Amino acid sequence: MKQDQPYGSWASQLTSEKLANGAKRLSEPRVFNDEVLWLEGRPEESGRTVIVKFDGVTAVTLGPDELNVRTLVHEYGGGSWLPTDDGIWLSSFNDQRLWLLNDDLRPITPESSISKGLRYANGVVVPDSDDTVWVVERHRESHVHPENFLASVNTAGEIIEVASGADFYSSPTVSADGKMLAYLSWDHPSMPWDHVRLHVAQRRNGGWAEHRVVLDGPALQQPQFSPDGQLHVISDATGWWNIHEVDLKNNSSYPLVQAAVEFGVPGWVFGQRTYTWANDAIWCSWVDQGVGHLGQIKNSVLTETDCGFTEFNGLDTLTDGRAISVAASWETTAAVRAIDPTGVSQQLSASHSLPLAREEISIPEAVEITGTSGRTTHAFHFAPTNTTYECSSELPPLIVLSHGGPTGAARSSFDPAIQYWTNRGIAVVDVNYRGSTGFGTSYRNMLRGQWGVADTEDCISAAQHLADKELVDPKRLTIKGGSAGGFTTLCALTMSTLFAAGISRYGVADLATLARDTHKFEARYLDSLVGEWPTEQHIYEERSPIHHTHRLSTPMIVLQGSEDPVVPPSQAEQLVEALIGAKIPHSYVLFEGESHGFRKAETISRALDSELSFLGQVLGFEPSDLIEPVQIV
């Protein structure tokens, strides 16, 4: 018999400490000389990122204990390492220089005149040479924004500019014969999911010449040469991110398979790969209705591999034809896996037991919700799940999750940060509001000029939908989001009285401040989301929650990193001052040394405990966890 206990008070084996220490971030799986390597972020080691290699039996960490492999190009990074015959090139987080890891670790590029002033990302090898090509970001004290360009770097540390003049560059790739370079560029106010150019250049006398634009848009990504030298790229010219073959003679492209699914992903970080070659096929991953899939393209036919996983991060192949990816499902945590065409998989990364028994895991229901505007939005609803407890006297509280970006998407696999709540008796709905990726270009573009409106409406509608169906308690609805999702959260709390509590992690409170103060990569992002800055400043003021605190009546907890370059602490401080002035119950938790997104185990743990304590006090339940109560003032 289950024990009858109030929702929110259920005991769970998934403690915040267990969640934080098990929250390893696996990314960028790569195959070099038929060996599998990947990156692993470790919260228990102050969030440092290491390179790991599968030696045929076990996973081995490479490099010295103090090594932290992470680039800060575009602030979000990605593509911070490159395996070569000379060793592994890598960007050290401490100084942002390129280093070469072999029998020892030695610096390749010189120190910058200012701290972390020269940054490198997204490197590629030039065959039959000791050259590599990188995206470089150069910071100067006299410039507001850095300069971005492509440069070749050899093992002697010589840096030669390859391409410059555009605001941004990414995805350099070189043909197998070393004769052709392809790369992407774009300019403000575009983001990489808006309008991107595809360039090619020829190898001449040890350098790169005859640069030309092959495709001038639309949203292009991941150029790659096939083994026989044919250039491919992912383009949304069909209305969906499909894999295209590029006609270099006619400056055109056509899809290998035209399908209403997304083979591309938003380019927030470098080093992402969703397709690659193996023997006579192309392995690829794609998203359909918010859920990930894996399969192959042969003779223009797409065939899914039934491997049981629902989310894939990165893709490479072994010579035996197996795909390598960081794969996960609704019931399994992310791991580096080798998957054959029949779906049989082998786990290569270290085994980590599920923090919950399978029967304790809440498997979501995909729901479609029609909002007040008549538009349909998508979401995953996770019901409270615990084999020990039930509650017969009330409906469960609900947390509405608003993902970041806002050009991003809800996860489609096991997320311990969601199960933390559901296993305690709190329902969660993770909303793929209009503007989310994975549903085609037109859906992604529905947020143009509507940020703070469409996304907010969709989150409110999701909560109302579940309340109307009597699946959750309409008096105990909470909304939570980080970064852009924090903005949506704050907008919902100023536009609606539906919610009983709000949780903002490094959320945007003042759009004008964000437009003035944010880093180069996102400096013009709001032009498309809100309106041209500063011409349409009035819209920024209308949309900014900081100007509408008189409408706030909802208790709120605000969590912020002290070293956040994307959403500076000043945003949180402005909000807290307004909450104090309006005498709204709130908590403010500042994490010293944290950047954008929480990486340290102690931060991850304390943040969750603070949120649980806050919701218990506001929504009227007593958590079973022995946690330090957060102070509400």
How does pLDDT run across 257-293, given as a tens digit for each residue? 999 999 999 999 999 999 999 988 999 999 999 999 9
CA 192/CA 217 separation, integer angstroms = 10
Nearest alpha carbon to residue 169 among 212, 210, 199? 199
Which tokens in the block code for residue 279?
A: 């023997």
Q: What is the dihedral of CA 450, 452, 457, 459, to 10 degrees?
A: 130
Whether residues 500 and 376 fall in one domain? yes
What CATH number is associated with residue 106? 2.120.10.30
Same domain (yes/no): 7, 76: no
Q: Distance between CA atoms of 169 and 165, rounded to whole angstroms? A: 10
> Which domain does 468 fall in, by range?
3-11+366-619
**302 domain residue, yes or no:** no
Same domain, 7 and 110: no
Of 76, 71, 72, residue with least CA distance to 525: 76
Which of 240, 201, 194, 238 has its CA nearest to residue 217?
194
Residues 7 and 79 reside in one and the same domain: no
Work out the percent of the chain whose per-residue pLDDT is above 90.
90
Q: Tell me, what DSSP letter sits at residue 626?
A: -
Task: Please report which confidence band the pLDDT of residue 24 belongs to, taking 50, 70 and 90 as the band edges.
Answer: confident
Instruction: Please answer whether residues 396 and 422 qualify as being in contact, where contact means their C-beta atoms are separated by less than 8 angstroms.
Output: no
Examine the domain organization and report whether 233 and 157 are in the same domain: yes
7 and 89 assigned to the same domain: no
E strand intervals along 447-594: 477-482, 501-505, 556-561, 586-591
Cα(141)–Cα(184) distance, integer angstroms: 27
Are 155 and 77 found together in one domain?
A: yes
Residue 131 domain-assigned (yes or no): yes
262 and 373 assigned to the same domain: no
Q: How many CB atoms lie within 10 A of CB 406?
A: 26
pLDDT tens string 358-405: 999 999 999 999 988 889 999 999 999 999 999 999 999 999 999 999
Predicted TM-score (pTM) of the model is 0.95
> What amino acid is encoded at 395 in this protein?
L
Shared domain check, 222 and 110? yes
CATH number of the structural domain spanning residue 464: 3.40.50.1820
Residues 498 and 585 in one domain: yes
Cα distances (Å, whole numbers) of residue 199 to 161, 180, 231, 238, 274: 15, 10, 11, 20, 20
Task: Name the more confident of 221 and 568.
Answer: 221
Q: Is there a contact between 393 and 422 (Cβ–Cβ < 8 Å)?
A: no
- Is residue 316, in this structure, part of any structural domain at all? no
Cβ-Cβ contacts under 8 Å for 444 (sequence gap 6 or more): 193, 407, 435, 436, 437
Q: For residue 383, is it within any domain?
A: yes
pLDDT of residue 567: 84
**How many other CB atoms are there within 10 angstroms of residue 171's CB atom?**
26
Name the band, by pLDDT with cuts 50, 70 and 90, for residue 158: very high
One domain for residues 240 and 371: no
pLDDT of 353 higher than 80: no
- Please indicate, yes or no, whether residues 419 and 554 belong to a single structural domain of this protein: yes
**64: CB partners within 8 A, 6+ apart:** 105
Question: What is the separation of C-alpha 534 from the centre of its chain, rounded to a whole number of angstroms?
Answer: 28
Q: Report helix, strand or coil for 295.
A: strand
Listed residues 243, 272, 301: the one ending a domain: 272
Instruction: List, edge to edge, every strand of the sheet that includes 105-107.
Output: 81-84, 87-91, 98-101, 105-107
Q: String of b and e for 477-503 (b: at least 16 CB within 10 Å)?
A: bbbbbbbbbbbbbbbbbbbbebbbbbb
Q: Which of 272, 293, 319 is the last residue of a domain?
A: 272
The whole-angstrom separation of Cα 163 and Cα 166 is 8
> Is the residue at 292 inside a domain?
no
pLDDT tops 90 at residue 143:
no
User: Looking at the domain assignment, is residue 361 inside a domain?
Assistant: no
> Into how many domains does the chain fold?
2
Q: Which of 157-166, 543-552, 594-603 has the highest mean pLDDT?
A: 157-166
Residue 297 lies in a domain: no
Among 253, 272, 291, the domain-final residue is 272
466: phi then psi, degrees, rounded to nearest 5: -70, -35
Cis peptide leading into residue 189 (ω within 30°): yes
Omega of the bond leading into 474 within 30 degrees of 0 (cis): no
Whether residue 530 is contained in a domain is answered as yes
Residue in the structure block whose two tokens are 């399969």:
295
